[in-house]
Amino acid sequence: LTIEDVLHLAPKFWAVHKDSIIARDPIAHILVTIQLNLVVGTMAPFAIKRPDLHPLMESILNFDISLVFLHVTPFMLTEVGHGCDARNLKTTATLQRDGSFILHTPTPEAVKFMPPSMPIDGIRRVAIVWARLIVDEEDRGIRAFIVPVNNGKEMNKGVHSMLDHGLTSFDNVHLPANAMLGELTMPADMRTQFLSAIHRVGIGALALSLAIIPFLKCATYCVGRYSQRRTVQAGVRGERIPIISFRTQQLPILHSLAQIAVMEAFADWITNRYSTDSALHPGAKHGLGVILKATFLQNGQWSLANLVERSGAQGLYPHNQMVSFEV
């Protein structure tokens, strides 16, 4: 993928989130999505006008572990005290006279929650940290900052991590002037500016929902093959026949195949609207993403539950992944 693919939501970007390889390791897919969509997607609009960001962007896109790190560049938005209401986050980035910034966690409730930040041997981590911009004691809204959090051996000065997937705080961390992504000016509307800044979160919700398609494909294939291989005796002296012969075994498989066909067409329609319809209001795009997510989750869970039920005890074996898909 290129910066343009991520920025303009090219077909290649959506294809990453529908690829059948996702079923092999869903957790790895989540990490890839965070790196490509949240991190690269947040930086991409600014990278067009800022050549200084290109080396870091290319390193992230290529998963260059010597510059970024093995799993995913941390995306630090939510805090201990601010999850769904992240617009009220308390982490501050105060502008200094020389144009630099001081990043600080003022209270325990402002500690960044969940993104990994601890060192992995020899692999440096760079995070996208969301903080409240303070200029001359005036709150100018939420901005994203590029923050090196460790050097691959130890945490950088002023950055403290309790657990790898836990808590990260900042104690008057000095950031250069080019660390901020955005402008210093006061936005006309704080809420609109915030929603625009984090718009990749909504795209991520849609993109991750597309993974239900490969999950269903894999589960349907597993149950279908099992139903062809598993046999029972037909009557007292009858021949052994595959259980796919029974209507109760056929229906969940056929229903799932039908759902996959509809889901793929629906996903193509919505992702095409996202990518090409410039007149579509951001609120309408968000609404389409919510509709797809709700539809996919409800129907996907229903189909997976029925497929698991028809797969017998063997379907619960970890290597079949049926239970992990359902979760």
- Say which CATH number the domain at 238 has: 1.20.140.10
On whether both 292 and 200 belong to a single domain, the answer is yes
Could you report the per-residue pLDDT of 216-227, keeping only the tens digit for each? 999 999 999 999
On whether both 119 and 149 belong to a single domain, the answer is yes
On whether both 182 and 200 belong to a single domain, the answer is no
280 occurs within a structural domain: yes
Q: How far apart are CA 174 and CA 100, in angstroms?
A: 7
- 155 DSSP 8-state letter: B
Range name among 57-71, 123-137, 192-206, 228-242 with the lowest pLDDT average? 57-71
Q: Residue 70 — pLDDT band, cuts 50, 70, 90?
A: very low
Helix (H, G, I), strand (E, B) or coil at 317: coil
Q: What is the dihedral of CA 190, 195, 198, 201, to 10 degrees?
A: 160
Could you report the per-residue pLDDT of 218-258, keeping only the tens digit for each? 999 999 999 999 999 887 777 899 999 999 999 999 999 99
Residue 142: phi and psi, rounded to 5, are: -90, 135
On whether both 200 and 302 belong to a single domain, the answer is yes
Tell me which of 71 and 325 has the higher pLDDT. 325
User: How much is the pLDDT for 163?
Assistant: 62
Q: How far apart are CA 47 and CA 55, in angstroms?
A: 10
On whether both 224 and 144 belong to a single domain, the answer is no
Residue 55 CA to its chain's centroid (Å): 23
53-68 mean pLDDT: 71
- 74 DSSP 8-state letter: -
Residue 155: phi and psi, rounded to 5, are: -65, 145
Q: Which of 186, 216, 237 is the last residue of a domain?
A: 186
Q: Residue 28 — pLDDT band, cuts 50, 70, 90?
A: confident
Q: Using a cut of 0.85, tell me whether the model's pTM lies above it.
A: no
Q: Residue 122 — pLDDT band, cuts 50, 70, 90?
A: low
In the predicted structure, residue 40 carries a pLDDT above the cut 50: yes
Q: Which of 186, 217, 246 is the last residue of a domain?
A: 186
In the predicted structure, residue 210 carries a pLDDT above the cut 60: yes
Number of domains in the chain: 2
In the predicted structure, residue 265 carries a pLDDT above the cut 70: yes
- 2 DSSP 8-state letter: -
Average pLDDT score, the chain: 88
Residue 80: phi and psi, rounded to 5, are: -55, -40
User: How much is the pLDDT for 162?
Assistant: 65
Q: Which of 213, 210, 316 is nearest to 257 (CA)?
A: 213
Half-sphere exposure of 306 (CA within 13 A, CB side): 20
191 occurs within a structural domain: no
On whether both 110 and 129 belong to a single domain, the answer is yes
Q: How far apart are CA 279 and CA 137, in angstroms?
A: 38
Residue-number span of the structural domain to which 154 is assigned = 74-186
In the block, residue with structure tokens 């995070």: 127
On whether both 182 and 218 belong to a single domain, the answer is no
The token duo for 48 is: 């067009």
205 Cβ contact partners less than 8 Å away, ≥ 6 residues apart: 289, 290, 293
In the predicted structure, residue 203 carries a pLDDT above the cut 90: yes
62 occurs within a structural domain: no
Please answer whether residues 110 and 89 qualify as being in contact, where contact means their C-beta atoms are separated by less than 8 angstroms.
yes
Helix (H, G, I), strand (E, B) or coil at 204: helix
On whether both 200 and 307 belong to a single domain, the answer is yes
In the block, residue with structure tokens 């698991």: 308
44 occurs within a structural domain: no
Helix spans in 155-246 (H): 190-197, 199-209, 212-229
CATH number of the domain within which 174 lies: 2.40.110.10
On whether both 175 and 206 belong to a single domain, the answer is no
- Count of all residues that appear for the chain in the document: 327
In the predicted structure, residue 72 carries a pLDDT above the cut 60: no
Q: How far apart are CA 116 and CA 114, in angstroms?
A: 6
User: How much is the pLDDT for 67?
Assistant: 41
36 occurs within a structural domain: no
Tell me which of 186 and 160 has the higher pLDDT. 186
Range name among 16-20, 148-152, 260-264, 287-291 with the lowest pLDDT average? 148-152
On whether both 307 and 268 belong to a single domain, the answer is yes
**Percentage of the chain lying above the pLDDT 70 cut:** 92
On whether both 242 and 179 belong to a single domain, the answer is no
120 occurs within a structural domain: yes
68 occurs within a structural domain: no
Q: Which of 139, 163, 186 is the last residue of a domain?
A: 186
On whether both 138 and 216 belong to a single domain, the answer is no
Could you report the per-residue pLDDT of 167-190, keeping only the tens digit for each? 888 999 999 999 999 999 999 999
211 occurs within a structural domain: yes
18 Cβ contact partners less than 8 Å away, ≥ 6 residues apart: 210, 211, 213, 214, 264, 267
- The strand ranges marked E within 166-313 are 167-170, 173-175, 180-181, 231-233, 240-242
